[in-house]
Amino acid sequence: MKTFCGRANPTTGSMEWLEEGEDYDYHQEIARSRYADMLHDKDRNVKYYQGIRAAVSRVKERGEKAIVLDIGTGTGLLSMMAASAGADFCYAIEVFKPMANAAVKIVEKNGFSDKIKVINKHSTEVTVGPDGDMQCRANILVTELFDTELIGEGALPTYEHAHKFLVQEGCEAVPHRATVYVQLVESRRMWSWKKLFPVHVEAEDGEKVLVPPSEMENCPGVPSVCDIQLNQMPSSDFSPLSDVVTMFSVDFSKPVQSASTYYRVQLEPVKSGKAQIVLSWWDIDMDPSGMINCTMAPYWVKPTSALQWRDHWMQCVYFLPREEPVVQGEKLYLTACRDEYSVWYNLQRAREGENKADKEEPEADVCVESPVCRCRAHLLWNRPRFGELNDQNRTRQYIRSLRKVLKTDSVCLCISDGSLLPVLAHYLGAKQVCHLGSGCMQPSRIDFYHRSNHLEDKIKIIEARPELLKPSHLEDKKISVLVGEPFFTTSLLPWHNLYFWYARTAVSTHLVSNVTVLPQSASLHMMIVEFQDLWRIRSPCGTCEGFDVQTMDDMIKDSLNFRESKEAEPHPLWEYPCKSLSDPQQVLTFDFTKTVPQHCLSTQGSVKLLRKGKSHGAVLWMEYHLTADISVSTGLMQLSNEKGNCEWNPHCKQAVYFFSSVIESEIQSDPTAVTYAINFDTKTGEIAMDFKL
């Protein structure tokens, strides 16, 4: 079946109709899936195997047949482990059709077809009985349905249903239990992902302070989980206010309830400070004794030597509804509320005169509703964007460059989503300031911010696509200064923000002939890197704990090559350390003082590999040249040191192009080089690249 999907091109802004075959979604899902990462997760695999062996033994010791239910079998891995451990029969359930098909092949290739039945259904559709999918209920329940937040992939309703309909009472479960841990911290860095800080501007007539809307003060934000590689957060960026405490546990061998509920613990701050953030992670015990434990604990809790890198399970950052000053030793209650799929947190002070003994039953009001943004800011700006807007260094660069280009008679138009530039331009003396929402995309209403700073009649918001801009929008004036960060919410890859160039081209007739454009130009940069760990997510696995999973590798490779266009993918590299193997190289430039040319922009060349290492791929990012001497980078923040360590912009995702074959450079006397060809098609806004090692 073919369907046509309409979408706005993120770079050019034009509407396109793409013909999407049924396969398209499959390939996207497989190519970007976490299956490879899970298969590379040695610690997880080994512990599942140990847990499964122990569970099969316990059942056999009772003289029973071992009948396994594996919900979400994926490649079939856990069922094959169970069969190898002596299970009599396994029902392997997988809802995602391409995976279920792959599981059938993998099971067959490994010689387990007579012991494992793959069922392509959602577990809640599975039937039990003589004519059912399963002959009888299972006595061993094996699953791996967890995300970083533990329950976000629907583990609770799946377990609830399985205990009611698919497994026997008193069954063995692998994992046996999961426990969620929390730690209360103060962190300006992480808090800057939720709250906008005041912005200070030195204006002609004294210092101006831009204040965030008061509604933001108590706004709970958005419910989506903030999951990050907490191991990349240096200890200097946060300050623990409590010990690590157990928040709640789930015993998977007993009936599980998925209905909304809450858990409460008492905390005594180990330090006075501002409670802002709850850091959280979980562990799973593969057996009842807790001897086989797989934990996501970060480096300061667990010795670094024992850390297993993984991207499919990370750690969570929860933002308290408001910042709460806490005093060392006082009594606090931390409440975790959850529904079927998500968790959120609340901090309360113990009321005076209340003592531990009668504190068993918390009041009914502790469980507040799932966070819903009331201030609108959390709908306009996502967490990295908050961080970017709060980055004072960055703001300073924009203020410095605006000051250089603005004059008292400037008519200024800003094209960027949810940007503070119009407000800065106003304070820095522009006569007239307009803000163009990106129109064809999401509305970029930022009027709540203008209102809180009494600027609603100072900055005109024009809700129109750039090509539909009319002289009347601008009160028949011509634009003398065109500004952009540029930033657009629809951008996924760094060069998608080149939409600014297309918008600039579309508004050309409204510009004075000697218009100033800020940024005046942009450049695309590239560097060859060796990843410490990220390579695993796209690297074939071959065998996993002795099982041949090459079928899965082939399937991923197929999907990556689908349409024969390998693409770069966005990753926030501050979370994924890498070593530079080449110098950064500027590969393309884009002149914003001119309109987008008709012809393609292309370049080719070679980069020398300067260091010993494995070339996993190329990293690409954009730099914006605000004025002749002021630039901002969305990628590399400074040249890497002699070891090749890199510091990346912490608010942006960079583009990563994984090479299909890795080369190991030995670099002694004879440096190797990587040749590249990069083409920016100005019609489609797409960047095609090719690398040869």
Catalytically active residues, by annotation: 144, 153
Q: Per CB under 6 A, does 147 bind ligand SAH?
A: no
Count of residues that bind ligand SAH according to CB under 6 A:
19
Nearest distance from residue 113's CB to ligand SAH, in Å? 18
d(CA 20, CA 22): 7
The residues in 582-611 that bind ligand SAH, with binding defined as CB under 6 A, are none
- Comparison of 93 and 405: residue with beta carbon closer to ligand SAH: 93
DSSP symbols for 15-52: EEEEEEETHHHHHHHHHT-SHHHHHT-HHHHHHHHHHH
- Comparison of 144 and 311: residue with beta carbon closer to ligand SAH: 144
DSSP symbols for 210-241: E---GGGTT-----S-EEE-GGGS-GGG-EE-
Q: Per CB under 6 A, does 368 bind ligand SAH?
A: no
Nearest distance from residue 36's CB to ligand SAH, in Å? 10
Amino acid residing at 555: M
Nearest distance from residue 145's CB to ligand SAH, in Å? 5
Q: Per CB under 6 A, does 158 bind ligand SAH?
A: yes
Q: Per CB under 6 A, does 52 bind ligand SAH?
A: no
Piece of the chain touching ligand SAH by CB under 6 A; list 93-101, 230-238, 316-324, 594-602: 93-101
DSSP symbols for 300-328: TTS-GGGPPP-SSS-EEEEEEEEEEEE-T
Piece of the chain touching ligand SAH by CB under 6 A; list 90-98, 129-137, 195-203, 400-408: 90-98
Q: Which residue is closest to ligand SAH by CB?
A: 72
The site map against ligand SAH for 11-50 (x = CB under 6 A) is ---------------------------x------------
Nearest distance from residue 103's CB to ligand SAH, in Å? 9
Amino acid residing at 147: D
Residues 6+ apart with CB under 8 A from 461: 434, 435, 437, 445, 446, 447, 450
| Beta bridge mates, 521 | 591, 625
Piece of the chain touching ligand SAH by CB under 6 A; list 68-76, 510-518, 578-586, 640-648: 68-76
- Comparison of 157 and 213: residue with beta carbon closer to ligand SAH: 157
Nearest distance from residue 225's CB to ligand SAH, in Å? 17
Q: Per CB under 6 A, does 77 bind ligand SAH?
A: yes
Nearest distance from residue 37's CB to ligand SAH, in Å? 10
For residue 436, the tally of other CB atoms under 10 A from its CB is 26
Q: Per CB under 6 A, does 99 bind ligand SAH?
A: yes
Q: What Cα–Cα distance (Å) separates residue 428 from each residue in 321, 361, 474, 511, 515?
A: 34, 56, 20, 21, 18
- Comparison of 145 and 667: residue with beta carbon closer to ligand SAH: 145
Q: Which of 94, 186, 569, 575 binds ligand SAH (CB under 6 A)?
A: 94
- Comparison of 89 and 319: residue with beta carbon closer to ligand SAH: 89
Nearest distance from residue 608's CB to ligand SAH, in Å? 40
Two tokens at 259? 């209905």
Q: Per CB under 6 A, does 139 bind ligand SAH?
A: no
Inter-residue long-range contacts of 330-333, CB under 8 Å, 24+ positions, other chains counted: 330/268, 330/269, 331/266, 331/267, 331/268, 332/184, 332/266, 332/267, 332/268, 332/269, 332/275, 333/264, 333/265, 333/266, 333/267, 333/362, 333/366
Q: Per CB under 6 A, does 93 bind ligand SAH?
A: yes
d(CA 544, CA 109): 14
Two tokens at 347? 């901090």
Q: Which of 72, 220, 269, 577 binds ligand SAH (CB under 6 A)?
A: 72
Q: Per CB under 6 A, does 444 bind ligand SAH?
A: no
Torsion of CA 553, 558, 561, 564, to 10 degrees: 160
Two tokens at 314? 């990370």
Residues in the chain: 693
d(CA 64, CA 61): 7
Select from 408, 422, 483 the least CA-distant residue to 458. Answer: 422
Residues 6+ apart with CB under 8 A from 110: 80, 547, 548
Q: Per CB under 6 A, does 75 bind ligand SAH?
A: yes
Q: Per CB under 6 A, does 311 bind ligand SAH?
A: no
Amino acid residing at 437: G
Piece of the chain touching ligand SAH by CB under 6 A; list 6-14, 66-74, 391-399, 483-491: 66-74
* Residues binding ligand SAH (CB under 6 A): 38, 71-75, 77-78, 93-96, 99, 122-123, 144-145, 154, 158
